[in-house]
């Protein structure tokens, strides 16, 4: 994705990480370092194979993840975070913390 000279860095970051699944993919990879496709799919409840493939491809194109394919039968593909992807670790942790706080506040307001 090409960045325009006068583009806001926040908008640029959000354009890379847009979509329902990308932050979740980065979070799971940050927790495990290396995951295979089927393991990621199991951890992402509700994602289709097509959406996972598309999201992984876009993250790879934006230098957020590495894809390593082993030429063996059956084929094995592993995904890991690049240094750029790892740099999102504190952001993803902050989102997790905020999400837990928001969930608790919503639960408390219902009681």
DSSP helix/strand/coil, 62: coil
Asked if 52 contacts 21 with a C-beta cutoff of 8 angstroms, the reply is: yes
pLDDT tens digit sequence for 44-91: 999 999 999 999 999 999 999 999 999 889 889 999 999 999 999 889
pLDDT tens digit sequence for 20-47: 999 999 999 999 989 999 999 999 999 9
The pLDDT of residue 70: 92
* pLDDT of 3 strictly over 70: no
The pLDDT of residue 30: 92
Asked if 68 contacts 80 with a C-beta cutoff of 8 angstroms, the reply is: yes
Residues 6+ apart with CB under 8 A from 48: none
The pLDDT of residue 90: 87
Give residue limits of the domains in the chain.
9-110
Query: The pTM is what?
Result: 0.84
Determine the topology of domain 9-110 in CATH: Arc Repressor Mutant, subunit A (1.10.10)
Percent of the chain whose pLDDT exceeds 70 = 95
The pLDDT of residue 5: 65
């Amino acid at each position: 994705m090409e960045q325009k000279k006068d583009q806001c860095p926040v908008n640029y970051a959000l354009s890379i990480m847009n979509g329902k699944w990308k932050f979740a993919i980065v979070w799971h990879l940050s927790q495990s370092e290396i995951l295979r496709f089927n393991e990621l799919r199991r951890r992402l409840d509700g994602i289709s194979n097509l959406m996972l493939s598309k999201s992984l491809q876009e993250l790879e194109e934006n230098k957020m993840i590495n894809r390593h394919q082993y030429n063996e039968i059956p084929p094995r593909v592993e995904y890991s975070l690049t240094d750029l992807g790892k740099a999102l670790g504190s952001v993803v942790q902050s989102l997790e913390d905020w999400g837990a706080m928001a969930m608790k506040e919503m639960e408390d307001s219902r009681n």
